[in-house]
Amino acid sequence: MSQNNCYHCGADCGKKPIEFDERKFCCNGCKTVYEILNANELTCYYDFEASPGTIPSDIKGKYNYLETPEIIEKLLEFDDGTTSVAEFYIPSIHCSSCIWVLENLNKLNNGVTTSMVNFPKKTVRITFKNSSTTLKDVVELITSIGYEPYISLDDDEGRKSTVDKTLIYQVSIAAFSFGNIMLLSFPEYFQVDEFWLEKYKHLFRYLMFVMAIPVVFYSAKDYFISAYKGLRHKILNIDVPIALGISVLFIRSSIEIMLDIGSGFFDSLAGLVFFLLLGKFFQQKTYNFLSFERDYKSYFPIAVTKINKGKEVNIAVKDIQKGDRLLIRNEELIPVDGILINGNAAINYSFVTGESLPVMKQSGDKLFAGGKQTSGAIEMEVINTIAQSYLTQLWSNDVFSKNNEKTIKNITDSISKYFTIAILLIAFFAGIFWYFYNPQMVFNVVTAVLIIACPCALALSAPFSFGNILRIFGYKKFYLRNAETIENISKIDTIIFDKTGTITSSDKAQLIYKGEDLTLKELRALKTVLRASNHPLSRTLYDFLEEEPFEESPINFEEILGKGIEATVNNLTIKLGSSSFVNAISEKTNETSIHIKINHKIKGSFTFKNSYREGTKEVFETLAKHYKLVILSGDNDGEKPYLETLLPKNTVFQFNQKPENKLNFIKKLQEKGAHVMMIGDGLNDAGALAQSNVGIAISEDVNVFSPACDAILDAKLFNKLPKFLTLSKKTISIIKASFILSFCYNLVGMSFALTGMLTPVVAAILMPLSSITIVVFVTILTNWVSKKL
């Protein structure tokens, strides 16, 4: 390697390398990774005899079993021959630094395309290119930088459910030491002057010192680690004042015992750590409960078509069984792993891998969950039942995240940072004041300030409020992507509705055919083509036609969103869609029509008399009081006169809009400062849903799952939409109220601490109590508001 090559990746640094720690780096990314590895004493990652980035010798050979195809297949969630996805449980994930390192694995291995950390579950989901790296290489990499995954092949799932009991052990040790130190401190409390107690006083004190050691260095270690990691990255997190308070207590008490000038404060120290961990344990249990409740959101109101004895029936994805035969239509998502039986499969796995180029599959090939069929209808046999959490992961993929404005989370983090600085300054100046006023009170005042003013309660307000409201929404069949969606909903000032399949109901639509009579063969061919489409109008017409479709799949199938479908079936070239798409002369009617062209001859059209969803008029009247409303439809403006009488006067109408027109319309509104919510059917509106600040997909009895949207609403609850929006706004108000409550608590506690009226152990009890109070406050209030609405 030349002298100008990057120490980390080996690339040529050019004329101006970045110098750090007497080493040269080609970019800040490589320099930062080196800093993190160096800070965690993991520089064994660099083998100076070979190229940088090689795996240390003590790890080599440990994961040779990951070269076995049977084991690899068991561990991989996805593998199309080009790209693979694997998820690992990593117990050592514990802070933001860990997240940063694990989500930047692509800087350590070019074969890794993306890596996403689920912090509460301590898992990392890694996508990598098979041509550039292997599963074994990936596992060796994350092990070499200090994040050894827990891999178990004991069960059918390929992973063993694990429970991290570290916190339980830490609480137990702190409780044991606290109780015994209190017992040994009784003579000191009452200043009993008795011969035997006086004789063994020093023994008792040293026993207290010995029992305090595991409390500080084991039970409280996470506070020190977190504070150290934060300071290393120039971040003042909320653990800094806690670690400082524990350190001051331990050092001061140890000095007193060593110099025989007092009994120290080991009882306060053990009590402090015990109550801190007890509060942390309660918070963790509550969060796990809310997370479990929130898992209901994975039961999206999605159905898939199952072929049962030749008949097509819609079933929920959670009811899919191994061996079932499924029909996957054009633009539908494959919800389970399976084997292709027949049809032209062109699978887009961009939701999984980020690659948008369709992968062609033949009969007998394996299909993976998360792929989207893009070339007509296919039939497949299920080999694995649904993993609901897998669809949730697709939905939460960072690929579909939006650049939001400053959020409550950002505000909370900022407040916590400045809060910590303020606490340290207050403690410093309070110490100076009491040093001159009453030196004996300095220690108690400074320690109490550091403990009582910790902004833990402040930091808990948003997560618990959002977590509980996500749970409530999930129960009410309004499924949100994440907590930020609630906040984004509260900022909305403009709501845009698609018409067909959104404010209209396909269940109650009436159809009238006008034109040349169709033969049985033409009707069967038409139904065969419609069978492959997932558009609401196609589904309605498909259900309307009574003839049986042909068994053969359409060839040269092409569905142009917003226009129509073209395909060949049984030597008949079928073209159906808008009048402009089939070059038909359109009569001016008040209904939407599908025009039919067979073998280049216009046959006629099916006219829809739309039926609007129950409560549409009331929904729009309620929303019009607070929002600007827009109807943005790809249909003609035939129904505009009727809609003008049905909807509020200030509603804006835009018809004949192609998918790209919808997207550009929203973009222009946003450029003018509008916060836009788009409500559509999830198919033609995918681009508009992704562009909007909040995209909501209306779901009926077909698979309209789209990772581009931020929420999925059951169509039956369309009339509840105003209440969901109101509840989102009230949730933000509850969080702000909890902020005020937290500040009030800190102000009151601080006033007692500064006057010396609060001992450290009482402060340690009050601190977790304040956190619990905030959790109870936001949970009860969000439940009460939701029930009231």
Q: Is 323 contained in some domain?
A: yes
Neighbours of 519 (CB within 10 A): 12
Residues 187 and 312 in one domain: no
Tell which of 347, 366, 395 closes a domain: 395
Give the model's pLDDT for residue 50: 44
Residues 183, 288 within the same domain: yes
Alpha-carbon span 729 to 723, nearest angstrom: 10
Is there a single domain that holds both residue 182 and residue 276?
yes
The residue from 612, 628, 652 where one domain ends is: 612
Two tokens, residue 142: 């994350």
Residues 691 and 776 reside in one and the same domain: no
Distance CA 470, CA 602 (A): 51
Our CA dihedral for 420, 425, 426, 429, rounded to 10 degrees, sits at 160
Task: Return the H-helix or E-strand segment holding 308.
Answer: strand 303-308
Regarding whether 183 and 125 lie in a shared domain, the answer is no
Residue 571 falls in which region: left (phi positive, over 0), alpha (psi -120 to 50) or beta: left
Asked whether residue 77 is assigned to any structural domain, the reply reads yes
Q: Which of 147-161, 391-405, 514-528, 574-588 has the highest mean pLDDT?
A: 514-528
User: Higher confidence at residue 737 or residue 21?
Assistant: 737
Say yes or no to pLDDT of 716 above 80. Answer: yes
Average pLDDT of every residue of the chain = 79
pLDDT at 39 over 60: no
- CA–CA separation, 496 and 299 (whole Å): 26
Residue 620 has pLDDT above 90, yes or no: yes
Residue 391 pLDDT: 67
**Maximum average pLDDT range among 25-29, 137-141, 164-168, 764-768:** 137-141
Domain count, the chain: 6
Together in a domain, 604 and 617: no
Question: Residue 667 maps to which CATH number?
Answer: 3.40.50.1000
Q: 415 and 455: one domain? A: yes
Q: Which residue has the higher pLDDT, 153 or 99?
A: 99
Residue 10 lies in a domain: yes
- Distance CA(626)–CA(79), nearest Å, equals 48
The predicted pLDDT at position 158 comes to: 41
Would you say residue 20 lies in a domain?
yes
CB 136 within 8 A of CB 85: no
Residue 96 has pLDDT above 60, yes or no: no
Q: What is the mean pLDDT of residues 412-433?
A: 76
Over residues 524-540, the mean pLDDT reads 87
Report which of residues 353 and 160 the model is more confident about. 353
Token duo for residue 590: 């008040």
Share of the chain above pLDDT 90, in %: 15
Same-domain pairing of 703 and 718? yes
Q: Which two tokens stand for residue 645?
A: 């009488």
Classify residue 156: in a domain, yes or no: no
- Structure confidence by residue, pLDDT tens digits, 108-136: 888 898 888 877 678 888 999 998 899 98
Query: Residue 157 falls within a domain, yes or no?
Result: no
| Highest averaged pLDDT of the listed ranges 97-101, 171-175, 542-546, 554-558 | 171-175
Residue numbers of the domain that contains 27: 1-54
CATH number for 604: 3.40.1110.10
Are 431 and 362 in a shared domain?
no
Residues 444 and 320 in one domain: no
Give the pLDDT score at 6.
72
User: Which pair of structure tokens corresponds to residue 491?
Assistant: 């900022």
For residue 266, being part of any structural domain is answered with yes
Max mean pLDDT among 246-255, 338-347, 500-509 falls in: 338-347
CATH number at residue 82: 3.30.70.100
- Is there a domain that residue 151 lies in? no
Query: Which pLDDT does position 116 carry in this prediction?
Result: 83
> Can you tell me the mean pLDDT for 163-186?
85
Give the pLDDT score at 679. 92
Mean pLDDT calculated for residue range 244-254: 82
Instruction: Report the pLDDT value the prediction gives residue 524, as an integer from 0 to 100.
Output: 92
What DSSP string runs through 205-236? HHHHHHHHHHIIIIITHHHHHHHHHHHHTT--
Burial class (CB in 10 A: 0-12, 13-18, 19+), 437: exposed
Whether 247 and 443 have beta carbons less than 8 Å apart is answered as no
- CATH number of the domain where residue 373 is located: 2.70.150.10
SS (H, E, C) 545-596: CCCCCCCCCCEEEEEECCCEEEEEECCEEEEEECHHHHCCCCCCCCCEEEEE
pLDDT at position 54 is 47
Co-location of 619 and 596 in the same domain: no
Average pLDDT over residues 520-532: 91
pLDDT class for 764, splitting at 50, 70, 90?
low
Looking at the structure, do residues 341 and 439 belong to the same domain, yes or no? no
Secondary structure class of 443 (helix, strand, coil): helix
Helix (H, G, I), strand (E, B) or coil at 80: coil
pLDDT at 1: 44
